[in-house]
Amino acid sequence: MNSLKKSTKIILVIIMLALIIGPLYAVSNGEFGGSDDVAEGQITESNPDYEPWFEPLIEPKSGEIESLLFASQAAFGAIIIGYYLGYNKGKKNASN
């Protein structure tokens, strides 16, 4: 029974790696743009005279820095949500 669990884990890891690495080979010259770029293009196309309401306070020097800031915000939000859910679960278990 133990070898079945180990083989199942190995198969799941192989499937996971295939799902992660596979798309990178399937789209070798693809451009991974964000929804902000698409929205900006659509707005410019539909209304060329459009002017934004405001400009960003801080403009990142490169796309990599912008991605780092976005990923940091996502990680910070995940930590807060995880803490909240864990705290409430622990509180509920302690009261039982």
- Which helix or strand (DSSP H or E) is residue 87 part of? helix 63-95
Per-residue pLDDT tens over the stretch 68-94: 888 999 999 999 999 999 999 999 888
CA dihedral (67, 70, 72, 75) positive or negative: negative
pLDDT per position as a tens digit, 56-69? 888 888 878 888 88
The pLDDT-based confidence of 32 (bands split at 50, 70, 90) is low
- Measure the CA–CA gap between 96 and 94, rounded to whole angstroms: 6
3 state SS of 27: coil
Please give the distance of CA 27 from its chain centroid, rounded to a whole number.
Answer: 19
